[in-house]
Amino acid sequence: MTISSRADIPAARRIVVKVGSSSISGENAGKIQPLVEALAAAHGRGTEVVLVSSGAIATGMPYLRLAERPSDLATQQAAAAVGQNVLIYRYQEALRPFAIVAGQVLLTAGDLENATPRSNARRAMERLLGLRILPIVNENDTVATHEIRFGDNDRLAALVAQLIGADALVLLSDIECLYTRPPDEPGAEPIRRVRHGDDLSRYAFGSVVVNSVGTGGAATKVSAARVATASGVGVLVTSADLVDAALRGEDIGTWFDPHPDPVGTAAGPVTAPVPRTGADTLGR
C-alpha cells in the first residue's frame, strides 16, 4: 500500500526500523526492551517488521575488555563476532514473552550489489516474514572491509527497505527530529516534513558523527531517506525513545514523502550507491 504520511504507518503492510549503536548498547542496553515492545505491538497488529540493528561492535567491546572503540579493522571484526551473538541473544530474550522468534540476517555491500546474492537475501527475508519471524539485520562486520562496507546502517536500512518492498522506513536517532542546523546552534529549527524534490542544500546537517560506539548522524539519515523515497518508501526520522509513538502514527519526527512515481523495484538498486561519508571505521 502507499504510505503518504506518518499517520499511515500503523496501516503499513511491511516496515523496516533501524536503530543505532548508541541507542541499544552500553548504558542504554536496557532500551532494547521498550524497542522490542513497540516492534511486538506492530507485529501484533499484523505488520511485517524488519529490524536493522547496529551495536555488534559496541556490545562486544566489554567482553574483549576494551574501554574504547577499537581503531584497527581486525579488532573491530573480533568485537563484532562476539557482540553480534550477545546482541541477538538480548533481542530474543526480550521477544520471548511475545512468542516472537528473531532471525539473524548478516549482509555485506556485495550481497546487495550483485544479482545472485541479492536475490538470495530477498528470498530469505521474504520467507522469514512469511513465517512471522522478525528478521534482525546488520552488516556482517566480521568479514566486511573498509573498501566494501555499507558505511553506515542508515544506508543499509534504506537498501533493505528497497530490497523487500517495504511501505515505510523508520530511522531512529538520538533526537526527536531533524533540524535546519545542529540543534545546539542558535537559529536551529525543526524540520517536520520533506516533500519530494525539496532542496535541502541550504540546511547544515553536518558531517558524519563518530562517537565512542558507532557512526551516523543527520547527514547519513538524509542520504538514506533519499535512497528509500526514490523507491516509493516513506521515511520517518525520530528518536529511539519515541519508537512506539512512531509506529502508532503519531505526529512526531521528520517525515520524508515517498517519490510519487517510483523508478525501480526490488529486482535491483534504483539509485547509485550513497557516497561514503568519510568515516573510515566500521559503523556497527
Annotated binding-site members for ATP: 18, 173-174
Amino acid at 37: E
Helices 115-130 and 153-164, interaxial angle, to 10°?
A: 80
Give the phi and the psi of residue 187 in degrees, each rounded to 5: 85, 0
Binding residues: 18, 54, 141, 153, 173-174
The 3-state DSSP class for residue 16 equals strand
**How many Å apart are CA 279 and CA 246, to the nearest integer?**
29
| φ, ψ of residue 180 in degrees (nearest 5) | -65, -20
Paired strand residues for 179 = 190
55 vs 19: CA distance, rounded Å = 9
Pairing status of strand 134-139 against strand 102-107: parallel
Helix axes 73-95, 32-44, angle to 10 degrees: 50
Q: Measure the CA–CA gap between 14 and 164, rounded to whole angstroms.
A: 9
Partnered with residue 102 across adjacent β-strands are 134
Start-end of H helices in 131-197? 153-164
Residue with cell 552500553: 26
> Torsion angle, CA of 175/212/52/57, rounded to 10 degrees?
-170
Task: Count CA within 13 A, CB hemisphere, residue 165.
Answer: 12
Question: Binding-site residues for substrate, please?
Answer: 54, 141, 153
Contact call for residues 137 and 240 (beta carbons, < 8 A): no
